[in-house]
Amino acid sequence: MQFAYTIVYVADVATTLDFFERAFGLRRRFLHDGGGYGELDTGSTTLSFARHDVARDSLGQDYCAADRSTLPLGIEIGLTCADVPAAYDRALAAGATGLKAPTVKPWGQTVAYVRGPEGTLVELCTPMG
């Protein structure tokens, strides 16, 4: 078994891809002509987004959309970078909501949390040694 991708269900795939490009510097890999599905290039795995109607059709039922809750869902997307404070500021400037400013953990890793406009919880962190 190998982890291949994550799909986040959102209201507007193109807008979400644009946010992730501006906020985190990720590159768009693909946006379906109909706008219902898109992907970002994140390395060996893919970060994907599907529009709510596409996701509900695929899943065959409803679900708890991240943007419906005032609280973040109990799952996060983790992005590593060398300069967490700069990444945090960039994400805020792009429209993210800051949840926890950069903090150095006892084991030496710097970690911060933001929430995207579509409700996704994103951890920004330095790589583990």
Predicted pLDDT at 3: 86
Go through 36-72 and write b for each residue having 16 or more CB atoms within 10 A of its CB, e for each that does not: bbbbbebeeeebbbbbbebbeeeeeeeeebbeeeeeb
Residues 6+ apart with CB under 8 A from 29: 38, 39, 40, 41, 46
Q: Domains in the chain, please, with CATH?
A: 5-125 (3.10.180.10)
Q: Summarize the confidence of residues 63-68 as an average pLDDT.
A: 93
Q: Give per-residue pLDDT as tens, 83-114.
A: 999 999 999 999 999 999 999 999 999 999 99
Predicted pLDDT at 56: 96
Residue 43 in contact with residue 97, Cβ under 8 Å? Answer: no
Whole-prediction pTM value? 0.93
User: Residue 46 and residue 87: Cα distance in Å, rounded?
Assistant: 20
Q: Which strands, in side-by-side order, build the sheet including 110-115?
A: 77-80, 121-125, 110-115, 97-104
